[in-house]
Amino acid sequence: LKLKGLGEFGLIDLIRQKSPQGQGVQRGIGDDATEIRLPAGHHLLTSTDLLIENVHFRRDWTDWNSLGHKAVAVNLSDIAAMGATPRYLYLGLACPGDTDLADIDQFLNGVLDEASRYDVALVGGDTCHSPGPWLIAVTIEGSAPACQAIGRDGARAGDLIMVSGTLGDSALALQMLRDGRIPDAELMARHHRPTARVELGRQLAERRLATAMIDISDGLAGDLDHILQASGVDGVVDELLIPVSAVFENGTDSRPVRQELTLYGGEDYELLFTVSREKLAEIEALGAELQTTITRIGSVREGPGRIWLRDSTGATHSLSVRGYDHFCRT
């Protein structure tokens, strides 16, 4: 069965039937606008991401369920990076009329399964025909008690730079796919089914542990640069401290390759944050509690916003920043 057999309103109806009612939803899918009741004293945090076929994903490298999962996970990660609680999801979807309904169903299952893991409700969206590529626009709303969200601008000289999990796995998987190799299941999952650090982000905010925070979507260098620019400080990163997984270690054979993937690779969806030194023990306790590796990779110092990399010889040099810029691809 094809999408054009079901039609726009048939599809919206299908989505509505598959979506459990969310908490605080006064009016959800089916009216002109969604009406939400927020808890008193909470602020609304909103983030949007676009996923475009052949720009962000390729049909032959992923499956529809994973794509739905990832579309939600990357948005959850933005809310996590603010230290907020994700709550509501909006799905904009454009695809060709000859799309198999089975593919859409798999995609929706990926979206709804990942959302429900965090008690996030799909409460609205828009549905359109596309003349060619799929286009997926996900908007997520989260909430946090007033003055608790963590921005990019709070890093201060003397703070430590911390990162969750390991870096480079997703970029290694992508590189292998580009080279026509098949990454093993663990690497593939890091790329296609990332896990947002929702609980870690929220706890860092609730316990007031992080001074600045961002999620790593564009690579450590580019995303650390965002914190340093916003905060008006320099950062020193110790190359040897950058955490990598065993599969990453085994799958990369030289230091330059590892450096390229961890610093510039992106799509790790780990949290990068700064903390004052006195909080280090509390951070370690939180990591143990959540069974999440949190690694100190460097420190913040006075400066105009440069990144310094201390390499394995102990020499420190300033690092060029080249995050991913959609309009400056070479």
Q: Is 31 in the site for Mg ion (CB under 5 A)?
A: no
Write the CA distances from 30 to 88, 109, 119, 123, integer angstroms. Answer: 15, 20, 20, 9
Position among 125, 168, 235, 266 found at the interface with ligand ADP (CB under 6 A):
125
Question: Which residues, in sequence order, are CB contacts of 162 under 8 Å at separation 6+?
Answer: 272, 273, 274, 275, 283, 294, 295, 296, 297
User: Binders of ligand ADP among 70-99, rule CB under 6 A?
Assistant: 91, 93
Q: Which stretch binds ligand ADP (CB under 6 A): 29-37, 70-78, 131-139, 284-292?
A: 29-37
CB of 49 to ligand ADP, least distance (A): 15
Q: Is 3 in the site for ligand ADP (CB under 6 A)?
A: no
Q: How far apart are the first and last CA of the chain?
A: 41
* Residue number of the CB atom closest to ligand ADP: 125
Position among 35, 100, 113, 126 found at the interface with Mg ion (CB under 5 A):
126
User: Which class for 264: exposed (0-12), middle (13-18), buried (19 or more C-beta within 10 A)?
Assistant: buried
Q: Is 113 in the site for Mg ion (CB under 5 A)?
A: no
Residue 32 partner contact from ligand ADP, Mg ion, none using kind-dependent CB cut-offs of 5 to 8 Å: ligand ADP
CB of 29 to ligand ADP, least distance (A): 4
Residue with tokens 């808890």: 39
- Using CB under 6 A, count the residues that bind ligand ADP: 13
Residue 5 partner contact from Mg ion, ligand ADP, none using kind-dependent CB cut-offs of 5 to 8 Å: none
Contact 168, 265 (CB under 8 A): yes
Q: Is 150 in the site for ligand ADP (CB under 6 A)?
A: no
**What whole-number distance in Å separates Cα of residue 48 and Cα of residue 65?**
20
Residue with tokens 């599969």: 247
Going through the chain in order, the beta strands assigned E by DSSP cover: 25-27, 35-36, 42-52, 85-95, 121-129, 135-145, 160-164, 210-215, 234-238, 271-275, 294-301, 307-310, 316-318
Going through 185-225 in order, the beta strands assigned E by DSSP cover: 210-215
Question: Which stretch of DSSP H or E encloses residue 231?
Answer: helix 220-231
User: Binders of ligand ADP among 8-27, rule CB under 6 A?
Assistant: 12, 15
Q: Is 32 in the site for ligand ADP (CB under 6 A)?
A: yes
Contact 37, 28 (CB under 8 A): no
Q: Is 224 in the site for ligand ADP (CB under 6 A)?
A: no
Residue 298 partner contact from Mg ion, ligand ADP, none using kind-dependent CB cut-offs of 5 to 8 Å: none
Residue 124 partner contact from ligand ADP, Mg ion, none using kind-dependent CB cut-offs of 5 to 8 Å: ligand ADP
Q: Is the alpha carbon torsion for 206, 209, 214, 216 positive or negative?
A: negative
Q: Residue 126 or residue 289: which is nearer to Mg ion going by CB?
A: 126
* Residue number of the CB atom closest to Mg ion: 126
Q: Is 110 in the site for ligand ADP (CB under 6 A)?
A: no
Residues forming contacts to ligand ADP in the complex (CB under 6 A) are 12, 15, 29-32, 91, 93, 122, 124-127
Residues forming contacts to Mg ion in the complex (CB under 5 A) are 126
